[in-house]
Amino acid sequence: MHKTELIVAVDTDTLKAAEHLIEKLEGQVKYFKIGSVLFTAAGPAAVDLVHKRGGKVFLDLKFHDIPNTVKHAVKNAAAMGVYSVSLHLSGGPEMLKACVELEKRPKLWGISVLTSFNEYNLFRSGYRCGIDKTVKNLATMGLENGADGVVCSPLEAARFKKQFEGKLKFITPGIRPASLGDDQARAVTPAAAHAAGSDFIVVGRPIIAAKDPAAAAAAILKDLK
């Protein structure tokens, strides 16, 4: 049976707040996303915090630069022992190849189209193919050049899962148990993401902003089953 793992986005402003959250979720959640919010506040200490609690880290810094720069960033991430990193697939095949060539590296999860984008936002950003075709093209390029997974909305995962089955993991942010009216333009429920074939779902505010984060996480995990 297909399994969907929960990644909790630890988008807190301080290490103390992150520690408080992770303590509440210990034993329930195995994967935690450390993104630019917490990493710019606390640096590698945020990664150490998750590891000390027995968790695995998805370092979501969305690397996008020349191949040599990204290669060394991924190498440094590997030295911290993270499980996976994100990098923009639009950085191109040479950037990906440079990272794949590393002797020891984390999983390479390629960003396709941000879940805050709608068709208009994407067009204004210079992409003329539409969301579906852009995601498909980037995922294909990622697969051909060694990416381990693609980060996209569950809406695209549902369309392309069969094509990439067994070749790429699908990591899907924009998960909402209910509509929050926030900046996620292409959000779905945990159950819908599971049905779409998501291998990992990334959930932030519905858990970290909840009065009881542990209960919120438990409800999502139940929904995934």
Write down the catalytic residue from 62, 75, 107, 161. Answer: 62
- Catalytic-residue membership of 62: yes
Tell which residue, 121, 94, 115, has the closest CA to residue 198. 115
- Asked whether the beta carbons of 94 and 71 are under 8 A apart, the reply is no
111-145 core/surface letters (b: 16 or more CB in 10 A; e: else): bbbbbebeeeebeeeebeeebeebbbebbbbbbeb
CA 123/CA 132 separation, integer angstroms:
12
Partners of 71 in the β-ladder: none
Catalytic residues: 62
